[in-house]
Amino acid sequence: MGVVVQKYGGSSVASPEKIKNVAKRVVQEKEKGNSVIVVVSAMGDTTDELLALAKQISKNPPAREMDMLLSTGEQISISLLAMAIKEFDYPVISLTGQQVGILTDSSHTKAKILKINIDRLKKELENDQIVIVAGFQGVNEFNDITTLGRGGSDTTAVAIAAAINADRCEIYTDVDGVYTADPRIVIDAKKLKEVTYDEMLEMASLGAQVLQPRAVECAKQYGVIIHVRSSFSYEEGTAVKEACEMEKERLVSGVTCDLNTAKIAILEVPDRPGIAYKIFSALAKANINVDMIIQSIMRDNVNDISFTISESDADLALEITKGVADEIGAKGVKFSKDVAKVSIVGAGMVNNPGVAATMFETLAEEGINIQMITTSEIKISCLIDASSAIKAVKALHKKFNLS
């Protein structure tokens, strides 16, 4: 007997039939004699639909009200799942983020969990209840509803597993594990039995949406092993953990692609100390994450600075950058949303020179131009034209023999 946290994503609860299927699986877990906490996302595309609804009302909706709106999606699915479990005649209770004691900071729409007060959770489990928790939401110190960023229910699940010291943390989705590439893009992608936190963190941050990066960070910090599995099968899935047997033998573990990226270039920036600070501190103040950065070599006391941000931050980032560019006397600002970041990730890359060259060779063979490059010990990313992204992923997957 132990405590099991299961998380079911939007695709797993997209219809009444699917909710009933989840209820059945939850009951099966309870039948094994475990205490069960279930974290759920909003049904299907509900969150996207709510976002679209807000855009019809306002071009720039206040973030606090956005959270008030977006959090309703999860409230629908927790109540329906609780009803479905009740049909099996099991004791069950649904709880919102606030009721479950999830305290976050105040960065609306991308809040971070600060603390979870597990008293209520413990009490309900002691009363033998199956507890259904709304993913993706919490409250800040003022008791205002916050949300944790897209895909945030994964983080809710891992954070709860860590807080309650669960024996198992399972993330159920519409694929039966983490693959060497998005199985929707690369048909012969292979399922990984295991993947390290570091590899998964890179893959998730670089576009493998199967897990939210924050969830992997949290799992690594608290040593929570994540089991990624399908809610439509009983396959074993992928374990995300500290170290893997295969890790060092595997040069490249996965190929990812991120289309949610945009590029801004500031042209002819005066070359003097403090300029980069000025640009990037203005973006940081607006809570905008900057990803790749390139500064060209100085010519005639000016240089160009280019960087990428996520597409959802692009409009605000452009406005801020234009303001700073004017202030510092740069020549102008260029902007593009038609870019994608393709990356290869692998712990075995560290001691193997030549991996980067092979990546660049592959893109060259496909006639794909590289606009920016970044590397870390276990990943190489290239910014390319968005229209070539799928071709690039397929070619890299083949070149590194991942099938």
Question: Which residues bind to ligand ADP, rule: CB under 6 A?
Answer: 9-12, 41, 151, 173-175, 178-179, 181-184, 208-210, 254
What's the Cα-to-Cα distance from 379 to each of 110, 185, 289, 341, rounded to whole Å? 25, 20, 19, 12
Q: How many CB atoms lie within 10 A of CB 289?
A: 12
Is 196 one of the binding residues for ligand ASP (CB under 6 A)?
no
- Choose, by CB under 6 A, the member of 12, 35, 47, 238 that binds ligand ASP: 47
- Sign for the pseudo-dihedral over CA of 82, 83, 86, 87: negative
- Choose, by CB under 6 A, the member of 44, 97, 152, 237 that binds ligand ASP: 152
Is 41 one of the binding residues for ligand ASP (CB under 6 A)?
yes
Q: Which is nearer to Mg ion, 42 or 355 (CB)?
A: 42
Distance CA 115, CA 102 (A): 6
Q: Which is nearer to ligand ASP, 211 or 244 (CB)?
A: 211
Is 136 one of the binding residues for ligand ASP (CB under 6 A)?
yes
Subset of residues 119 to 158 that bind Mg ion, contact rule: CB under 5 A: 151
β-strand partners of 293:
307
Residue 40 CB, shortest distance to ligand ASP, in Å, is 9
Is 137 one of the binding residues for ligand ASP (CB under 6 A)?
no
Q: Which is nearer to Mg ion, 162 or 228 (CB)?
A: 228
Q: Which one of ligand ADP, ligand ASP, Mg ion, none is in contact with 340 (Cβ closer than 5 to 8 A by kind)?
A: none
What's the Cα-to-Cα distance from 211 to each of 1, 39, 119, 149, 274, rounded to whole Å? 27, 14, 27, 12, 37
Q: Which one of ligand ASP, ligand ADP, Mg ion, none is in contact with 135 (Cβ closer than 5 to 8 A by kind)?
A: ligand ASP
Residue 127 CB, shortest distance to ligand ADP, in Å, is 29
Distance CA 391, CA 157 (A): 34
β-strand partners of 35:
3
User: Helix H segments across 295-366?
Assistant: 314-328, 355-365
User: Is 153 in contact with 40 (CB distance < 8 Å)?
Assistant: yes
Q: At what angle do helices 63-86 and 46-57 cross, to 10 degrees?
A: 150
Is 254 one of the binding residues for Mg ion (CB under 5 A)?
no
- Sign for the pseudo-dihedral over CA of 209, 189, 185, 389: positive
| Joined tokens for residue 309 | 């941000």
| Joined tokens for residue 258 | 């991120």
Is 135 one of the binding residues for ligand ASP (CB under 6 A)?
yes
Q: Which one of ligand ADP, Mg ion, ligand ASP, none is in contact with 181 (Cβ closer than 5 to 8 A by kind)?
A: ligand ADP
Q: Which one of ligand ASP, ligand ADP, Mg ion, none is in contact with 400 (Cβ closer than 5 to 8 A by kind)?
A: none
Q: Which is nearer to Mg ion, 178 or 269 (CB)?
A: 178
User: Is 51 in contact with 70 (CB distance < 8 Å)?
Assistant: yes
Subset of residues 320 to 339 that bind ligand ASP, contact rule: CB under 6 A: none
Is 400 one of the binding residues for ligand ASP (CB under 6 A)?
no
Find the angle CA(54)-CA(153)-CA(44) to the nearest 5 degrees.
Answer: 55
Per CB under 6 A, residues contacting ligand ASP are 9-10, 41-42, 47, 73, 135-136, 150-154
Per CB under 5 A, residues contacting Mg ion are 9, 151
